[in-house]
Structure 1
Amino acid sequence: MADSVPAGIDPTVPPSGTGCVECDAAGGWWVHLRRCAQCGHVGCCDSSPSQHATAHFRATGHPVMQSFEPGEEWFWDFAGETGLEGPRLADPQAHPDDQPVPGPAGRVPADWRDHVN
């Protein structure tokens, strides 16, 4: 990789899917999605009930994630607790535009606001 790519980022790795890996497996739901910039794992944000993106960082040590929301390109470095600049990652850049927030459709409880962090 080029020297200009920050450590913990592999721009060639595609995302693991269109939703949070763990929430999808358990039938759960999320508020927003985050993508690991090193391995492509898609997890839910810290506002979501299960906070799988942060759990992925803690389990793997992969320090950098990027928003997986349409129109958002920002990166977050968990280790340094700061935003950073990063390269364009492998497509797709975000979950599908027709996927609701929170999502996915059919799994978000009517009282979802009572469950966010």
Structure 2
Amino acid sequence: MTLQPDPHLAMVRPVTPNTPQGCEECLAQGTGWVHLRMCLTCGHVGCCDSSQGRHARRHAAASEHPIVQSYEPGEDWRWCFVDEAMV
């Protein structure tokens, strides 16, 4: 059995973080976060599912941008919210 690449990878673009200092929504609201994720379609920086706001997941649902990358120092992984899997 050959694994097929995630079809959502086609939505990955060269991006730079919109708010390199942290989660866009948490910064606007004055709240904190646990870990950060960057959208690989538009560069939105949102907080993880362990954070109160879960802004990375909310952004993915609202924008239909499925893939994020960890925006934590020393981490290099990607997650597809649609497939709930590492890519």
Coarse TM-score class (shorter-chain normalised):
0.7 to 0.9
Question: Following superposition of structure 1 onto structure 2, how do residues 70-85 of structure 1 map, counting pairs within 5 Å?
Answer: 70-84=73-87
Q: Say yes or no: does 1:28 pair with 2:31.
A: yes
Higher share in helix:
2
Unpaired segments of 5 or more residues in structure 2?
Answer: 1-8
One-letter amino acid of the counterpart of residue 49, structure 1: Q
- Hey, what's the Cα distance between the residues in 2 that align with 1:40 and 1:73? 16
The count of aligned residue pairs is 78
Taking the TM superposition and a 5 Å limit, the aligned residue runs for 1:1-117 are 6-11=9-14, 13-17=15-19, 18-84=21-87
Q: What TM-score results when the alignment is normalised by the length of structure 2?
A: 0.86
* Paired position in structure 2 for 1:96: none
Which consecutive segments of 4 or more residues in structure 1 shift more than 3 A?
none
Structure number with higher relative contact order (C-alpha < 8 Å, ≥ 6 residues apart): 1
TM-score, scaled to structure 1? 0.65
User: What SS does structure 1 have at the residue aligned with 2:10?
Assistant: coil
Return 5+ residue gaps in structure 1 as ranges: 1-5, 85-117
| C-alpha distance in 2 between matches for 1:48 and 1:8 | 25
Residue 7 of structure 1 aligns to a residue whose secondary structure is helix
Greater C-alpha radius of gyration: 1
* Structure 1 vs Structure 2 CA RMSD: 0.7
Output the amino acid matched with 1:23: C
Shift of 1:27: 0.3
Identity %: 54
